[in-house]
Amino acid sequence: LFLGTAAGGGVPQWNCNCPVCQAARRGDGRVRPRTQSCVAVSADGRRWFLLNASPDLRAQLERAPALHPPAGRPRGSPIEAVLLTNADLDHTLGLFLLREGERLAAHATREIRQSLAQGLALEATLGAFCGLDWVDPPNRPAPLRCRDGSPSGLFYEALDLGGRPPRFAKQPGAANGHSLGYRLSDEATGGRFLFLPGMSSLEGPAGACLSECEALAFDGTFWTDNEMPERGVGNLTAAAMGHVPISGPQGSLNVLAGLKVRHKIYVHINNTNPALFEDSPERAAVTAAGCTVAADGMELVI
Amino acid sequence: LFLGTAAGGGVPQWNCNCPVCQAARRGDGRVRPRTQSCVAVSADGRRWFLLNASPDLRAQLERAPALHPPAGRPRGSPIEAVLLTNADLDHTLGLFLLREGERLAAHATREIRQSLAQGLALEATLGAFCGLDWVDPPNRPAPLRCRDGSPSGLFYEALDLGGRPPRFAKQPGAANGHSLGYRLSDEATGGRFLFLPGMSSLEGPAGACLSECEALAFDGTFWTDNEMPERGVGNLTAAAMGHVPISGPQGSLNVLAGLKVRHKIYVHINNTNPALFEDSPERAAVTAAGCTVAADGMELVI
């Protein structure tokens, strides 16, 4: 369940006048508004796991009846845990929004936890509310467990994507453990979902196993490497922000086009990305390659 | 402009099954959904100041055309600064959502800043994005200035309400500076707006000057002192959370009913508060006292 499909800032972004944001505000159907990236997965439709915790989580949960509190108790939630791909604010601020609930379980590497301790005092502050338990994500398939320790019917493994800590973290630059992908599989059906919302490179082990899944959710942040500077809305290139662009000879679309994967989906799409226009040549190119640009509310059964 | 009118968690709250939240989810008109407390004020309709920064700020700004980025620049915002009443997460998480903008100005006491440094590493983390300038709010009327130093057409003063630091802060309990009210006045019309979303007591200097305004926005968090324990959704009383309840002989409604103030408005309303039911006796009592229960999108011209 794709709760949110935009990169940081969402579509439209509060302070942005780029053509995409303007169109999203006009509401003429050319650009659908999107909240910030977050996916919910479940084997049984009853117990759910969040992939990242979007700043828009409150609105996202409200729009998803499957994630409403179950009947019969004054308070409660079908959310069993959050799996973090990195410490970026657009993936982690939503953890604070879960503070009114039961003790929270979050899966992340030591490096991601350290960034969140430095940049948000996360564990200490949640400790004054629900409390937070960290879980080390495994690097080979292992059962994904619910709060009570019972198996969820899903297996999962984390793929280390290399990359850098977020810019607010006071840590040495390139190192392992700062950026993850996840592959989840359904114990009953064997269906696999590969979640890679932030990929700095198509090389490496994660790039080599892109086709080993039935559904791939891939980094769709930028169309070109210098999209932000070109639109006058930032100085950083896609590469500097840890994202491989969709287009170009080194872009992801060339690779995804050749993959024999049933569902090939771009997620974490920045508001500057022209593929957000439903009627754009960029969108047509994505579709021609057998890929989809994700939209909020999209549901996938594997 | 009342961008958000609920207390922390909003209405409905993601994990809450109380009668108010259930009704808000059903959408049968008995309870209007509400986002978390935030008010925007302006003298000229062009330059705006936020009173607190709600976690729901992204959605709130999108729903308010007056707060959209002005035309003619790739990025920009009519938001000149944020005035904080305390360090509570439901008043401050929205500051992170403004990180993509220009350098941010936030008005708060030293005590509030210290809580935010401890509980959110706020200044350091925003320093890696837009940067943050703190402004000391004055304790007598002074011009409220825009980012460029020009007068906004508004005067403002902070009222120290005593109170405690938020529970995530590692600071000694009761002391001054942790909780503020603001009185804003329009330089041209003289119209005054008194903003008191968190009042632990009707005694004291702020309680004594409630009628010195044309519009009063007052703490409407709880109807009774033991509302949370009674509904089985928490252990803390209103008093323990720093809120004077609306009802009862010591409640705020008795006092507000007698005030000669044109607009008497309850804000920061918790999802457990029965006055959120449009057809409840509690709502009828509020109305009979000449008061209003605020709703998102409400606009007031003083």
In A, minimum Cα distance to B72 occurs at: A17
Q: How confident is the model at residue B173 (pLDDT cuts 50, 70, 90)?
A: low
| Cα A53–Cα A15–Cα A163 angle in degrees, nearest 5 | 45
Say which of B18, B25, B67 has its CB closest to residue A74: B18
Q: Three-state SS for A194? A: strand
Say which of A17, A118, A129 has its CB closest to residue B74: A17
Q: Is the pLDDT of residue B205 over 90?
A: no
pLDDT at A234: 85
Sign of CA dihedral B170, B174, B177, B183: positive
Q: Is A210 on the interface with B (CB under 8 A)?
A: no
pLDDT at B162: 85
Residue with tokens 């604010």: A89
Work out the mean pLDDT of chain B and round it to a whole number: 96
Structural Rg of chain B based on CA atoms:
18
Q: Which of residues 13-32 of A touch B (CB under 8 A)?
A: 13-18, 25
Q: Is B76 on the interface with A (CB under 8 A)?
A: yes
φ, ψ of residue A54 to 5 degrees: the values are -70, 150
Q: Three-state SS for A262? A: coil
Task: Report the complex ipTM.
Answer: 0.97
Q: Cα B54 to chain center, whole Å?
A: 8
B13 to A100: CB separation less than 8 angstroms, yes or no: yes
Q: Residue A237, Cβ neighbours under 10 Å: how many? A: 16
Q: Is the pLDDT of residue B33 over 90?
A: yes
Q: pLDDT tens, B284-295?
A: 999 999 999 999
In B, minimum Cα distance to A95 occurs at: B93
Cα–Cα distance, B38 to A88 (Å, whole number): 25
Backbone torsion region of residue B177, taken as left when φ is above 0, otherwise alpha when ψ lies between -120 and 50, otherwise beta:
left
Work out the burial of residue A299: count CB atoms within 10 Å of its CB; fewer than 13 is exposed, 13-18 middle, 19 or more buried: exposed
pLDDT at B235: 87
Strand partners, B185: B155, B192
Sign of CA dihedral A148, A149, A153, A157: positive
Structural Rg of chain A based on CA atoms:
18
Q: What's the mean pLDDT in B136-152?
A: 97
Q: Is A283 on the interface with B (CB under 8 A)?
A: no
Q: Is B145 on the interface with A (CB under 8 A)?
A: no
Furthest-apart CA pair in chain B: how many Å? 55
Q: How confident is the model at residue B174 (pLDDT cuts 50, 70, 90)?
A: low
Q: Which residues contact B159 (CB under 8 A, 6 or more apart)?
A: B139, B180, B181, B182, B183, B196, B205, B206, B209
Q: Is B172 on the interface with A (CB under 8 A)?
A: no
B100 to A55: CB separation less than 8 angstroms, yes or no: no
Q: pLDDT tens, A150-209?
A: 999 999 999 999 888 998 987 766 678 999 999 999 999 999 999 999 999 998 889 999
Residue with tokens 């930032």: A234
pLDDT at B272: 95
Q: Is the pLDDT of residue B171 over 80?
A: no
Amino acid letter for position A222 = F
pLDDT at B64: 98
Residues of chain A whose pLDDT is less than 50?
A: none
Q: pTM to 2 decimals?
A: 0.97
Q: Is the pLDDT of residue B36 over 80?
A: yes
Torsion of CA A253, A86, A58, A50, to 10 degrees: 80
pLDDT at A174: 61
Q: What's the mean pLDDT in B193-222?
A: 95
Q: Is the pLDDT of residue B7 over 90?
A: yes
Q: Is the pLDDT of residue B164 over 90?
A: no
A167 to B124: CB separation less than 8 angstroms, yes or no: no
pLDDT at B163: 82
Cα–Cα distance, A116 to A135 (Å, whole number): 14
Say which of B56, B77, B120 has its CB closest to residue A121: B120
Q: Which residues contact A90 (CB under 8 A, 6 or more apart)?
A: A7, A8, A9, A36, A37, A54, A55
pLDDT at B13: 98
Report chain A residues whose CB lies below 8 A from the CB of B124.
Answer: 119, 168
Structure tokens given for B138 = 């004055």
B125 to A120: CB separation less than 8 angstroms, yes or no: yes
Say which of A14, A76, A125 has its CB closest to residue B119: A125
φ, ψ of residue B265 to 5 degrees: the values are -130, 130
CB B131 within 8 Å of CB A170: no
Please give the helix or strand (H or E) that residue B60 lies within, else none.
helix B57-62
